[in-house]
Amino acid sequence: MAETGDVIAETIAEEAAEDAAELAELEAQLYGGGNEGGSEDPGSGAGGQDGDDAGAAGPPMTKSQMKKKARLERMLAKRQEQRQREKAAKAAKRAEAKERKAAEYSTMTDEQRKAMKEEKQAKLNALKEAEKALKERLKASLESGPKVVIDLDWEDKMTDNDIRHLVQQLSFSYSANKQVEKPVHMMLTSFKGKVADTANKMISGLENWSITRTPQHYAELLGGSEEARSQLVYLTADSNIELEELDPTKTYIIGGIVDHNRYKGLCEGSARAAGISTARLPIAKHIQLASRAVLTVNHVFQILVEWYARRDWAAVLDAVLPMRKRAEYAQQSKDEQQQRKGDKGGDKGAGRSGQQHKEKEKGKDDAAAAGGGQPAAQADAEAAGAAGGSGATGAAEAAVVKDGAEAAGSAGAAPMEAEAAGAGSKSDEEEARGVKRKAEDEPAAADG
More confident residue, 139 or 397: 139
Q: Is there a contact between 273 and 283 (Cβ–Cβ < 8 Å)?
A: no
pLDDT of residue 96: 94
Q: Which of 6, 19, 238, 259 is catalytic?
A: 259
Q: How far apart are CA 87 and CA 67, in angstroms?
A: 30
pLDDT of residue 343: 62
CB count in 10 Å sphere of residue 313:
21
The pTM assigned to this predicted structure is: 0.56
pLDDT of residue 76: 83
Q: Is there a contact between 304 and 148 (Cβ–Cβ < 8 Å)?
A: yes
**Section 136-160 average pLDDT:** 93
Percent of the chain topping pLDDT 70:
57
**Section 265-290 average pLDDT:** 89
pLDDT of residue 55: 43
pLDDT of residue 172: 96
**Domain spans of the chain?**
1-81, 145-325, 345-447
**Which CATH number describes the domain made up of 145-325?**
3.40.1280.30
Phi and psi angles of residue 216, each rounded to the nearest 5 degrees, phi first = -70, 150
pLDDT digits (tens, 9 = 90+) for 104-136: 999 999 999 999 999 999 999 999 999 999 999
Q: Burial code of 279-306, b = ≥16 C-beta within 10 A, e = fewer?
A: bbbebeeebebeeeebbbbbbbbbbbbb
- Gyration radius of the chain over CA positions: 37
Mean pLDDT of the chain: 74
Q: Is there a contact between 146 and 308 (Cβ–Cβ < 8 Å)?
A: yes
More confident residue, 335 or 212: 212
pLDDT at 306 over 50: yes
For β-strands 277-279 and 251-255, DSSP reports them as: unpaired
pLDDT at 433 over 80: no
Does residue 160 have an active-site annotation? no
Q: Which of the residue ranges 27-41, 76-90, 151-165 would you say has the lowest mean pLDDT?
A: 27-41
